[in-house]
Amino acid sequence: MELISSFVSSTASDAWTVIYNYSIHITATLLVLYVVQKAIYELYFSPLCDVAGPWYAVISNIWLTGHRLFFRQAMAVDALFEKYGPVVRVGPRRVAFNDAGAARDVYVDCNFDKSTVYQGFKMNGHDQSINILSGSVHALRRKAFAQHYTTANLALYGPEIDEHVVQSVNILRTIYGRRPVNCLELFPQLLIDVMCLISSGVRGEALATWAKTFSDETNVPDLLSVALSDMPAFCDMRGSFPTWMWNALCRIPNKRWNQFCQSESIVTQFVTARLEEIRKRVWAEEGKIQNGNGHVKVDKIPLLERFLRTSPTSPEKMIDEDIIAETMGQLLAGIDMTAMTLAYLFWELSRRDDIMTQLRAELDAAMPVSNGSGRAFPDIAVLNELPYLNGFIKEGMSNTHNSLRTHSAGPSLLERVVPEPAVDSWSKESTPDFDLLGIPLPPGTIIATQSWSLHRDPYIFPEPDLFNPDRWLNDAAERTMSGAMMAQQMIPFGLGSRMCGGMNLAQMMLRFVVAAVVRNFDVVAPAETTEKSMAMRELFVSAEFAGSVD
């Protein structure tokens, strides 16, 4: 009996092994067949099969996602434009294009909705303006904060912003000559303090804390500053993985990684606390008004208070979770992009004495020297009228997606979705497919352009990789033609109704900081800061600020 039992057990075990092995082989075979048939379909039978593009990008989104994760997407797509022309297929349902006229059709005239790639920028599961897909829904959200970033309203914060800029210059004076200063450590602290002021009315301590840490590395960095610095990469990485996979990755037991994954929670706690503080003050003011003992000062209010004071019957009124999400999104946008641009602008100054000389001469002529306290700090009304400074900023805005032509901080694809065709109510006939430079695209196709490529068109920008502020200073006759063409090609802040809502603040801060530093310091890059280290995929820049020049 024992022999029979052993034989039966062995036979059953062998049978299960055979079944298991067959299952593995069948599953693998089916998977291979699926991949092959999908590749054949995308290459030869898809509605987009006639759009030029490399086969490895056409059959799967892996190619594009991989370049995105390694911060090389813009350059990889630009290389495809050079090889295949202005319209190229970069995924099974994705088409990239490089044409300013078509960009205005997509982003301005048609105002297509965004693709789901932006959903990684939700804050705690709630929408903020950058990730709202629908154009009509976004228009309501934008209306709630548009007034806050007008030039007139930002001017009310001018004195406080100037104080923060002065503080950063004074910090640079105290650490002069000791060791190089990493611009992508210093400038975010300045911008954090400014954004905290504008969004919540709180005077930040990021600059002061950073200065202490720089002087004594045993000091603990500001937790909020670290979280705000981490969040752009956090949102981008989170959006690149399925939710279940991202949640699993966040459980990896590493102290710095866990802090990185907690960045959203830390910023949420900060904004929530400020919201509650402002709510209590607003309620107290309203109580005084009801008793006839007070009035509301509405000429200068922080963003959170502006949201709270929106009429309950207004379509722009938001629940608390949306207020917190929107404020968090604007904090990030106001810090990361501007800091990146400043870093690249000073990198250019560190290796271009000719630009530094012209810029300083223009600033010196426009602003007097203060009495015994060094060079005077800038006035924004004066800075806005300085042609070489404006040319310097524009050239920066157009050269990386953040600096603004050559170093623009948002160089990558701005994805939109081709909508379903409209149906005529009388004839019941639908409109033809959307035409992109002569190529019909079916509904559901994701289309996108990128500033990295538009800003490097050699026909519009001769020697496109050369940082040349003089290109914006041509004589009046030439400026009428070439200047208009350059302006049309420039999209550092996006296009249409989805343009960056805080672009006035960004340009204000760029002018303030550039003028203050150029007036008071020479900019010298240390030996370790090279063209290679400053490639856009490298997320750091180091520059040494030498003593002030008379």
Q: Is 110 helix (H, G, I), strand (E, B) or coil?
A: coil
Structure token digits, residue 376: 């005077």
**Residues of the binding site for heme:** 500
Residues 476-487 pLDDT 10s:
445 556 778 888
Mean pLDDT rounded to a whole number for the chain? 84
Report the distance separating Cα 115 and Cα 14, nearest Å. 51
User: 409 pLDDT exceeds 50?
Assistant: no
* Number of Cβ within a 10 Å radius of residue 259: 14
- Which range has the worst mean pLDDT, 118-122, 144-148, 310-314, 397-401? 397-401
Token pair of 461, please? 């920008």
Reading the block at residue 155, the tokens are 């001017």
Distance CA(218)–CA(220), nearest Å, equals 6
Instruction: For residue 517, give the nearest of 384, 398, 348 by alpha carbon.
Output: 348
Q: What does DSSP say about strands 522-524 and 542-546: parallel, antiparallel, or unpaired?
A: antiparallel
Q: Which of 269-283, 391-405, 532-546 has the lowest mean pLDDT?
A: 532-546
Say what the pLDDT of residue 426 is: 67
- Residues annotated within the binding site are 500
Helix, strand, or coil here: 299? coil
Query: Residue 405 belongs to what H/E stretch?
Result: strand 404-405
In angstroms, the CA 96 to CA 112 distance is 15
Mean pLDDT value across residues 52-67 = 92
Question: For residues 215 and 299, what is the distance between their CA atoms, to the nearest angstrom?
Answer: 40
Residue 464 vs residues 453, 458, 480: alpha-carbon distances, Å: 10, 6, 20
Residues 6+ apart with CB under 8 A from 427: none
The Cα 441–Cα 432 span in angstroms is 9
The pLDDT of residue 90? 96
Output phi, psi for 59, to 5 deg.
Answer: -85, -15
Task: Kindly state the tokens that stand for 97.
Answer: 């294009």
All structural domains of the chain: 55-520 (1.10.630.10)
Residue 402 has pLDDT above 50, yes or no: no
The string of DSSP codes covering 309-378 is TS-TTSTT---HHHHHHHHHHHHHHHHHHHHHHHHHHHHHHHH-HHHHHHHHHHHHHHSPBPSSSSBPPP
Q: Is 491 helix (H, G, I), strand (E, B) or coil?
A: coil
Q: Name the pTM for this structure.
A: 0.85
User: Which residues are within 8 A (CB) of 417 and not within 5 positions of it... i.e. 6 or more apart?
Assistant: 112, 113, 114, 115, 133, 444, 445, 446, 447
Model confidence over 415-464: pLDDT tens digits? 999 998 876 656 566 667 899 999 999 999 999 999 889 998 998 888 88
For 145, 267, 342, 401, 462, the CA distances from 231, given in Å and listed in that order, are 22, 9, 19, 19, 37
pLDDT at position 329, please?
93
